[in-house]
Amino acid sequence: MEVGYCTMISGEGPLVVGQGPVRTGVTAICPRGRKGVATPVFAGGHSLNGNGEMTGFVWIEESGNLGGPITITNTHSCGIARDATLRWLVEHGGVDFDQDWWGLPVAAETYDGKLNDINGFHVREAHVFAAFDDARGGAIEEGSVGGGTGMICYEFKGGSGTASRRVELAGETFTLGAFVQANFGRREQLTIAGVPVGRHLPKRDSGPDQGSIIGIVATDAPLLPHQLKRLARRCGLGIGRSGAVAAHSSGDIFMAISTANAGSVAAAGQICKADFVPDADLTPLFEAVIQAVDEAIVNALVVNETMTGRDGVTVEALPHDRLQDILRQYRRLSN
């Protein structure tokens, strides 16, 4: 798994459509790394509330596999991210044109128009390419980076977050990771470690909860498409732990992928085989999804800094000192 960012921050002051201020970007996720993008992965998805976009979702629902990388950006740049991904695959993805190749890339979005000149269409093909060029394995930056640059979560600065768990199954150890682009929630809903943190923080009337979240779960455990769909559903329980209610106008869309079984999605004319975890043993993976998604959301909040965007709109970072005081009050932290 490799993740890359292109972060776009420029300008300040009043909004001038087409000029800025710009607070946006692109996140690129390559399930098998850039060198392995031509090898599909088994996949499954779930929409908790569908006021959002994830292109390619219908074919994944039908076929049970994902045939390329994933991009995440702002709502009005989802199309360019999808189309640029196709060009990137043609130019860099090891595509076999002798097989009448075609692609339906996955591009997902959440809305950053409160901070960003979203109608200025600042994301270009080159920015999508830059995110792919930046993709790498290992620890990644979180917060106001990539597609998460202009996002707001529980009325604090939100954005990109990730977390992982190790799971023991049948004597083997597997890794499960979650990546979120968090852009949802009212302040009074925010819950951390079971503590109603948001109720103890100063409130402001910012209107109804109209945000969204994209969640991507990836594991090296061998799972079949229907099992991955079941993992994707558990993302909703993860965001519920942090206080979310999946409001009427939100887009809460999730995908789970497995990097195992690299040779199982093969060309026609041959019998394929795949390893898989028995359904009866999936519960530890369900628990890992819930924990990792919850933690990824908290990480997106905790690592962030206050940001000022279009028209001087300022979104505060989650106050660390006050958060620790509240957690101590509920005996979640020692003095």
Q: What is the pTM of this model?
A: 0.94
- Note the CATH architecture for domain 2-329: 4-Layer Sandwich (3.60)
Nearest to 225 by CA among 174, 276, 162, 299: 276
Q: Is residue 214 within 8 Å of 54, Cβ to Cβ?
A: yes
- CA 70/CA 67 separation, integer angstroms: 10
Mark 259-268 as b/e (b = at least 16 C-beta within 10 Å). Answer: bbbeebbeee
Structure tokens at 169: 């199954």
Q: Give me the active site residues, please.
A: 212, 250, 252
What lies within 8 Å, CB to CB, of 220 at 6+ separation is 174, 175, 258, 259, 260
**How big is the chain, counted in residues?**
335
Each residue's pLDDT expressed in tens, for the chain with a length of 335 residues: 899 999 999 999 999 999 999 999 999 999 999 988 888 999 999 999 999 999 999 999 999 999 999 999 999 999 999 999 999 999 886 777 666 788 899 999 999 999 999 999 999 999 999 999 999 999 999 999 999 999 999 999 999 999 999 999 989 999 999 999 999 999 999 999 999 999 999 876 655 666 899 999 999 999 999 999 999 999 999 999 999 999 998 999 999 999 999 888 766 778 888 999 999 999 999 999 999 999 999 999 999 999 999 999 999 999 999 999 999 998 888 76
Break the chain down into helix, strand, coil percent, rounded to 5: 30, 30, 40
Residue 278, pLDDT score: 95
Residue 128, pLDDT score: 98
What is the distance, to the nearest Å, from the Cα of residue 74 to the centroid of all Cα atoms in its chain? 12
- CA 79/CA 128 separation, integer angstroms: 11
Cis peptide before 319 (omega within 30 of 0): no
Measured in degrees and rounded to the nearest 5, phi and psi for residue 153 equal -135, 125
